[in-house]
Amino acid sequence: MKIVIKTKVESSLADVERKFDRNLFVKLSPLFPKLNLLRFDGIGKGGVTQLLLDFILFSQEWVSINTHSVSSSKGFYFIDVGKKLPFPLKNWRHHHIIYSEESTVIVDRISYSTRSLILDLLMYPAMWLMFYLRKLAYKKYFKE
């Protein structure tokens, strides 16, 4: 399944790149499941992000690695790929694209799959909403 969410923020491209850090990651965390950030190496190639997702009755680990990271005067992007994913996810790829037009635009391009197309479809509304709600967090964080 694929999800694409674009968000315009009131901040310079350089400021957005500088502030794409651990603090932002924490601000982007959904209300549920609760995320415990165990490791965040940043957005550079090879960077690892390790989470513990707390579902109240049980917890699951999530580990992603940044496979690409490119920066230029026109923008930057990085891609994180899931290496250890919580059930029922089988594949995860999150392409973070940030570029400048009249303002700075943050694009979250996500592709994920489970072992079942039906489950992929059932998860889609919750996944879409989780990333759509990031728009508010991005706008607030990059205004500070």
Residues across the chain: 144
Contacts of residue 80, defined as CB under 8 A and 6 or more positions apart, other chains included, come to 49, 64, 65, 66, 67, 92, 93, 94, 96
Q: Give residue-wise pLDDT tens across range 11-70.
A: 999 999 999 999 998 899 888 888 999 999 999 999 999 999 999 999 999 999 999 999
Q: Give residue-wise pLDDT tens across range 70-119.
A: 999 899 999 999 999 999 999 999 999 999 988 999 999 999 999 999 99
pTM: 0.92
DSSP assignment, residue 117? Answer: H
**Cα torsion angle, 111, 56, 27, 140, sign:** positive
Does CATH number 3.30.530.20 belong to domain 2-29+68-143?
yes
How far, in Å, CA of 143 to CA of 52, rounded? Answer: 29
Question: What does the domain layout of the chain look like in residue ranges?
Answer: 2-29+68-143
